[in-house]
Structures are given as structure tokens and as C-alpha cells.
């Protein structure tokens, strides 16, 4: 049994957390861990009285929070697209680059040419780096195989990964091939029962799948026992976020072009709005999710990195910082979006908050209070990362 003492402890008290819900901010705090599980939380004075014989790890100058949960990544691919940054700066849009054979299509080519073992090595290195920034659970999608055999290959690689943290697997129906779109959707429907992932996700947008195709795919996935996620309203609004009314979608992601009136549909459905501020930066767009309406209607907000060849960021700390400076979340909202609500978007209610009975996935930060997680930009502030009570990284 171990007691971790900290200058400040911050956690949501419920999952999902909604705007203006209570939050625990405990100064001179302590957490008790036994066998990888949190068994007690309180002030240092209370905890040392209740557990006088426990070992003590004293981080009395530091902040402790739940481990970060990254609920939206595209970690499994080969190659890079750094040349496309120059094209974007010259005025080409993401959609234009994709339609000319770049973007996703370019990454598909690199990924197909890379062996299973090499892809597995790439994936494991990326997970390890994400962990060093405080991520203790990560969602990872397929999506860069394009043809069905390749997508099932990526699903197999994803399920075989050896990781120090938990990996939630998603079969992403990413983009239709340049020809044979209708037949491709039929092939997807046949393949879904064989994916073996936890989630199925569809990129529903102007350059990807339309609403009817997305509805058909997600309905089939739900019937096959998969949980559902959705890329919605990223590049344009074509009606994708309306699907939360019809299907049990755990998370609707991006939402840059979601009309304010659709926020009511998201709120009523219980779907989490997963926002991806790094991608707003890399798309060089002025569009932003309707945050004020989400707050008003108390939609649970999560954030993720959206790590991909277009958004090369493994660092959830950066997502927190940009959620504050680009989207206007408070540091407290951003932290909870990266912990309790990110976990809830994956329906992992055994982590993401610091409470007795929850898994001891924790981060000790080299800062004195939670404000510094956004106030200081650009440094890795994670001092100690704990997965089920075991240290993963110690500086």
C-alpha cells in the first residue's frame, strides 16, 4: 500500500462531467493505492491518520490528476506528409490536396508498402511517446488500408500490439476509393463482423462518406455488437451529426461545422462531443465547435490529439493547451475533457477520476496547481506517470 502526497489534487466527481458540475480541488492532498486500485482520497492530514503504516511517496510541491485519456488517434500508419504543410501555406485546402491524390490516399500507399512488423514497431514507439506525456489510455483507429483486406490487416496488427497502457481499438471506415464507391460500401458491410475491434467509426463528410452510407455502416456495426464513434461535421456540415438521434453513438468527433441547433440533438442523445483542437490548428481553419451552446445545454466535452499524418501531435498536454487558447475552455474544463470525459467517451468508467475503487491511472505534474497545465506552454510537465499504480516514467 502506497500513499502519494501532492500539493494539489484535481478530479471530476462524476462521469460524464457536464458544465458547472462539481469538481474536487484538494490542497495538500493524498491518494492511497493498493494492488493498482485507489482505495482512499483526502487531505494529507486525514490520510496519514487513517493509514499510518503505508509507504509514502511525497510529491508535496506537485499537482496530481487522473491519467490522460486520448480518445481519438490515427496512430497506425507509415510515412509522413510534411510536404503538404507548404502546400497548405500556399493556399491549398486539405480537401483539395486529398482530391489530387495526396492526404489520406498518400498515406494509404505508404502503409500498404510497409510490413506488419514494421507497422507494429511504429505503433509501439508512438504509444510509448504518448505515454511519456501523461497518456494512460489511448484509442487507436485503422483507416489507412482503404481496401478491405488491408483494413482487416490493420485491425489484426492493432489487436496484437504490446503496450504499457490500455489501447482501445477502432475499425475506421475512412474514405471511399476513387472508383467503385457503392461496391466498396457493400464490402465494408461484409467485413465488419470480422474486424474484432471494440469500436467502428465512420468519417462522414464531403470528401468521405455521405449520411446514408454512414447510417448503413454504423447500423450494421451496431447489429454486429460493436460500439460506435463518428467523425462528424469536420470539413462541412452535410447532416452527419444528425445521426446521433438515430444510433447509439458514444462519441461524435470534430464538430467544427455543427449548427448550434444540432447541439440539442447531441445533448439529448447522451453522445460525448470529442473536440480536436490540434486539428483546428493544422487545418488552418477559422471554424470552431459551438462551445457556448455545448455549455448551455451541458453536453459532455472530451478532447483528444487526433494524431495523424495531418495532425502530428502525440501530446495530450498540447491538446489541453490548445483547447484553452483556441476553443476557450477553462484549464479545469480542458483537464476534465482530457480525463473523465475522454474516458467516458470510450465508456471506460473505471478510470478518468480519482475515487476509491477506480484504477490508479495517475499523473504527477511538475507544476503546483492545475492552472499551470495551460498557463505554461510547450514543456513536458509530466513528472511521474502511473499505470495501475506502477510508475511508467520518472524524471
371 labelled binding-site residue? no
What class is the 69-345 domain? alpha beta
53 is in an annotated binding site: no
2-66+352-394 adopts what CATH topology? Urease, subunit C; domain 1 (2.30.40)
| All CATH 3.20.20.140 domain ranges in the chain, comma separated | 69-345
What span, in angstroms and rounded, lies between the C-alpha atoms of 392 and 57?
15
* Predicted local confidence at residue 102, as pLDDT: 85
Q: What is the pLDDT of residue 179?
A: 82
User: Contact 203/308 with Cβ under 8 angstroms?
Assistant: no
pTM, entire model:
0.96
Residue 172: beta bridge partners?
A: 201
293 is in an annotated binding site: no
* 74 belongs to an annotated ligand binding site: yes
Which ranges of the chain have pLDDT less than 50? 394-395
Contact by Cβ (8 Å): 332, 341: no
Centre a 10 Å sphere on the Cβ of residue 120 and count the other Cβ atoms it contains. Answer: 16
Annotated ligand binding at 194? The verdict is no
pLDDT in the model for residue 393: 64
Contact 132, 166 (CB under 8 A): no
Q: What is the CA radius of gyration of the chain?
A: 21
Determine if residue 254 is labeled as part of a ligand binding site.
no
Q: Is 51 annotated as a binding residue?
A: no
Residues spanned by CATH 2.30.40.10 within the chain? 2-66+352-394
Q: Is 344 annotated as a binding residue?
A: no
Amino acid at each position: 500500500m502506497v500513499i502519494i502526497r501532492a500539493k494539489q489534487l484535481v478530479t471530476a466527481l462524476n462521469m460524464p462531467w457536464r458544465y458547472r458540475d462539481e469538481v474536487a480541488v484538494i490542497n495538500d492532498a493524498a491518494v492511497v493505492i493498493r494492488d493498482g486500485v485507489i482505495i482512499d482520497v483526502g487531505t494529507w492530514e486525514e490520510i496519514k491518520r487513517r493509514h499510518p503504516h503505508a509507504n509514502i511517496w511525497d510529491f508535496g510541491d506537485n499537482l496530481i490528476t487522473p491519467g490522460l485519456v486520448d480518445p481519438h488517434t490515427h496512430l497506425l500508419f507509415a510515412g509522413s506528409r510534411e510536404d503538404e504543410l507548404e502546400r497548405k501555406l500556399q493556399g491549398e485546402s486539405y480537401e483539395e490536396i486529398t482530391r489530387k491524390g495526396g492526404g489520406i490516399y498518400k498515406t494509404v500507399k505508404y502503409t500498404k508498402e510497409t510490413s506488419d512488423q514494421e507497422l507494429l514497431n511504429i505503433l509501439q514507439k508512438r504509444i510509448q511517446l504518448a505515454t511519456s506525456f501523461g497518456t494512460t489510455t489511448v484509442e487507436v483507429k485503422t483507416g489507412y488500408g482503404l481496401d478491405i483486406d488491408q483494413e482487416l490487416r490493420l485491425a489484426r496488427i492493432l489487436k496484437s500490439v504490446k503496450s504499457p497502457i490500455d489501447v482501445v481499438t477502432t475499425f475506421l471506415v475512412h474514405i471511399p476509393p476513387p472508383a467503385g464507391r457503392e461496391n466498396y460500401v457493400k464490402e465494408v458491410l461484409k467485413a465488419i463482423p470480422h474486424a474484432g475491434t471494440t469500436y467502428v467509426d465512420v468519417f462522414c463528410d464531403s470528401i468521405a462518406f455521405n449520411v446514408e452510407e454512414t447510417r448503413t455502416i454504423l447500423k450494421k456495426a451496431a447489429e454486429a455488437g460493436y460500439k460506435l464513434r463518428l467523425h462528424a461535421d469536420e470539413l462541412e456540415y452535410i447532416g452527419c451529426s444528425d445521426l446521433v438521434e438515430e444510433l447509439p453513438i458514444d462519441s461524435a468527433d470534430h464538430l467544427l461545422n455543427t449548427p448550434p441547433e444540432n447541439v440539442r440533438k447531441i445533448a439529448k442523445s447522451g453522445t460525448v462531443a470529442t473536440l480536436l483542437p490540434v486539428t483546428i490548428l493544422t487545418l488552418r481553419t477559422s471554424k470552431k465547435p459551438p462551445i457556448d451552446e455545448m455549455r448551455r445545454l451541458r453536453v459532455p466535452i472530451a478532447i483528444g490529439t487526433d494524431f495523424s499524418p495531418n495532425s502530428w501531435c502525440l501530446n495530450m498536454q498540447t491538446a489541453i493547451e490548445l483547447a484553452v487558447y483556441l476553443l476557450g475552455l477553462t484549464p479545469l474544463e480542458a483537464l476534465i475533457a482530457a480525463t473523465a470525459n475522454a474516458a467516458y467517451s470510450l465508456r471506460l468508467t473505471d478510470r478518468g477520476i480519482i475515487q476509491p475503487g477506480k484504477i490508479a491511472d495517475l499523473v504527477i505534474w511538475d507544476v503546483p496547481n492545475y492552472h499551470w497545465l495551460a498557463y505554461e506552454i510547450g514543456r513536458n510537465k509530466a513528472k511521474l506517470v502511473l499505470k495501475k499504480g506502477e510508475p511508467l516514467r520518472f524524471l
